[in-house]
């Protein structure tokens, strides 16, 4: 069978795109090397800009009464704290539940899934104007290919000149139960990284931190030792770790994280989500960037298939959109990421924020997009 669109990678960006395109009447196949449901390393805070789009794609979310997050607290090792309201704010839901609900919704609409199937290669035939996606078991033919295979895949198209000093980070996530303010996201800085805590569904909280990989190496790759040595230097984190009930037996972990500007388009496919570029999670918006790019790409693809724009116009519209909306935000987030590794700098930042709270509010605003 030939498809209108083949999507490689069924994470958040791929799932949103497949539902959106299917609702517009196109034949869509998603090739996903994993399966659902599954835990993923993520802070699980979604900026409000995506609230309407996600709820339109997946009405089942409405019944969940998810925590709405409107307040922000930043702390560092020097006992300094800064608190403010978030403006637009966000909401909390685990990736486990969100991807499962979107997957069920996509199946209900008739999206076809090739699960536990890895896409290996894409080729384009100029004569037939069709793409072939080779997997381990078959070749899938489609008019367009969209690549949402995440930040670290065999299709990575990084521009090596724009790396962030080659620094690698490790991400670690737990689900915990802890008596805490439902509408608050906390970021606690420690030497080498920062830890975010915010509430998700069913009275649970997500505790997720990102740390320079050198810190883990320095304690022989022992996560408990790293937590004691570095995270507990922030008294808030020590208290949280000692008083919380840890729901997941083992933390979910990911290594080799870096923040690089990538390409949005190549000869074979359109990139979206983290595969097009990844934002440092200190600004908490990678999921919304993935959703916003799915929203715009679906609209542009619809115009192309309806013959309102040519393939060249589709390409240039999508490239311009991506650059205008996300490049500056990604660059800004990379500075935040570097800053946030050093408690001395975070302490100074907190002092400045406490004297001039409007600076903090302005920066927070810059890291969130407009609702769509
Ligand atoms: C520590 C940390 C904390 C974060 N916290 C937040 C937060 O609080 N809020 C926020 O908005 N963002 C956050 N993010 C960012 C967010 O997690 C990502 O932006 C988001 O997951 C990107 O979604 P995606 O669909 O592009 O990629 P992914 O979710 O990575 O999905 C990619 C999919 O492609 C599949 N795949 C890969 N290669 C192939 C292949 N060859 N064939 C088939 N399938 C393939 C994978 O199995 C995967 O399912 C955080 C990131 C990190 C690292």
* CA of 281 relative to ligand 1 center, distance in Å: 11
Q: Hey, whose CA ends up nearest to atom 9 of ligand 1?
A: 284
Nearest to 197 by CA among 59, 228, 188: 188
Interior CA angle at 7 toward 6 and 10, to 5°?
145
* CA of 103 relative to ligand 1 center, distance in Å: 15
Q: How far apart are CA 352 and CA 364, in angstroms?
A: 14
* CA of 278 relative to ligand 1 center, distance in Å: 9
Tell me how crowded residue 181 is: count the other CB atoms within 10 A of its CB: 13
Contact indicator for 178, 246 with CB cutoff of 8 Å: no
The whole-number pLDDT of residue 231 equals: 97
Q: How far apart are CA 107 and CA 102, in angstroms?
A: 9
The segments of the chain whose pLDDT lies below 70 read 1, 157-166, 284
Nearest to 157 by CA among 294, 271, 5: 271
Give, for ligand 1, the residue of 286, 336, 369 to mutate: max count of ligand atoms closer than 8 Å to Cβ: 286
| Cis amide bond preceding 210, omega within 30 | no
Q: How many domains does the chain have?
A: 1
Q: Hey, whose CA ends up nearest to atom 4 of ligand 1?
A: 42
372 within some domain? no
Contact indicator for 264, 280 with CB cutoff of 8 Å: no
Q: How far apart are CA 54 and CA 62, in angstroms?
A: 10
* CA of 11 relative to ligand 1 center, distance in Å: 6
Residue 344 has phi, psi (to 5 degrees) of: -60, -45
Q: How far apart are CA 213 and CA 43, in angstroms?
A: 18
325 within some domain? yes
**3-state class (DSSP) for residue 103:** helix
Contact indicator for 197, 240 with CB cutoff of 8 Å: yes
227 within some domain? yes
For residue 290, the ligand 1 atom closest to its alpha carbon is: 26
105 within some domain? yes
Range of the domain at 347: 2-367
- CB of 67 within 6 A of ligand 1: the answer is no
Q: Hey, whose CA ends up nearest to atom 21 of ligand 1?
A: 287
For residue 151, the ligand 1 atom closest to its alpha carbon is: 30
DSSP string, 248-310: SSS-EEEEEE---BB-SB-SS-EE-GGGTB---GGG--HHHHHHHHHHHHHHHHHHHHTTSS-
68 within some domain? yes
Strands 252-257 and 169-177: antiparallel
Which residues on adjacent β-strands are paired with residue 170?
211
Contact indicator for 11, 273 with CB cutoff of 8 Å: yes
Give, for ligand 1, the residue of 39, 40, 43, 135 to mutate: max count of ligand atoms closer than 8 Å to Cβ: 43
Contact indicator for 169, 160 with CB cutoff of 8 Å: no
Measured between alpha carbons, how far apart are the two ends of the chain, in Å?
Answer: 34
- CB of 171 within 6 A of ligand 1: the answer is yes
Q: Hey, whose CA ends up nearest to atom 26 of ligand 1?
A: 273
Tell me how crowded residue 245 is: count the other CB atoms within 10 A of its CB: 9
- Burial code (b: 16+ CB inside 10 Å, e: under 16) for 154-176 equals ebbbbeeeeebeebebbbbbbbb
For residue 120, the ligand 1 atom closest to its alpha carbon is: 41
pLDDT tens digits for 28-62?
Answer: 999 999 999 999 999 999 999 999 999 999 999 99
71 within some domain? yes
Residue 308 has phi, psi (to 5 degrees) of: -85, -25
Q: Hey, whose CA ends up nearest to atom 22 of ligand 1?
A: 274
* CA of 291 relative to ligand 1 center, distance in Å: 11
- CB of 150 within 6 A of ligand 1: the answer is yes
Contact indicator for 194, 212 with CB cutoff of 8 Å: no
Distance of CA 9 to the CA centre of its chain: 13
- CB of 284 within 6 A of ligand 1: the answer is yes
Which residues on adjacent β-strands are paired with residue 5?
28, 144
Strands 139-147 and 2-8: parallel
- CB of 148 within 6 A of ligand 1: the answer is yes
Nearest to 330 by CA among 196, 159, 178, 199: 159
- CB of 288 within 6 A of ligand 1: the answer is yes
The whole-number pLDDT of residue 160 equals: 43
CATH code of the domain containing 162:
3.50.50.60
């Amino acid at each position: 069978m030939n498809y209108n669109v083949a999507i490689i990678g069924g994470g958040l960006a791929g799932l949103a795109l497949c539902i959106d395109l299917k609702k517009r009447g196109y034949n869509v196949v998603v090739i996903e090397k994993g399966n659902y449901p599954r835990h993923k390393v993520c802070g699980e805070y979604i900026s409000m800009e995506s609230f309407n789009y996600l709820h339109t794609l997946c009405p089942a979310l409405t019944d969940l009464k998810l925590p709405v997050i409107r307040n922000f607290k930043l702390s560092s090792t020097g006992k300094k704290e800064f608190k403010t309201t978030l403006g637009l704010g966000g909401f909390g839901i685990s990736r486990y539940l969100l991807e499962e609900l979107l997957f069920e919704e996509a199946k209900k609409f008739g999206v076809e899934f090739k699960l536990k199937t890895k896409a290996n290669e894409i080729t384009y035939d100029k004569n037939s104007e069709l793409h072939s996606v080779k997997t381990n078991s078959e070749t899938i033919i489609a008019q367009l290919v969209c690549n949402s295979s995440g930040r670290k895949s065999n299709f990575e198209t990084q521009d090596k000149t724009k790396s962030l000093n080659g620094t690698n980070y490790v991400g670690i996530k737990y689900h915990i139960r802890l008596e805490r303010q439902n509408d608050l996201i906390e970021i606690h800085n420690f030497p080498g990284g920062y830890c975010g805590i915010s509430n998700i569904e069913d009275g649970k909280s997500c505790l997720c931190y990102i740390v320079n990989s050198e810190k883990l190496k320095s304690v022989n790759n022992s996560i408990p030792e790293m937590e004691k040595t570095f995270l507990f230097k922030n008294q808030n984190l020590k208290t949280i770790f000692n008083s919380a009930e840890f729901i997941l037996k083992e933390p979910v972990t990911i290594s080799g994280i870096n923040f690089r500007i990538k390409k949005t388009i190549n000869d074979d496919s359109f990139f979206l989500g983290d595969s097009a570029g990844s934002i440092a999670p200190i600004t908490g918006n990678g999921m919304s960037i993935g959703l916003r790019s799915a929203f715009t790409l679906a609209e542009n693809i619809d115009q192309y298939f309806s013959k309102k724009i040519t393939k060249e116009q589709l390409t240039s519209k999508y490239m311009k959109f991506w650059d205008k909306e996300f490049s500056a935000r990604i660059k800004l987030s990379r500075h935040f990421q570097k800053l946030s590794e050093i408690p001395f700098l975070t302490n100074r930042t907190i002092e400045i924020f406490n004297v001039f709270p409007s600076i903090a509010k302005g920066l927070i605003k810059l890291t969130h997009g407009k609702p769509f």
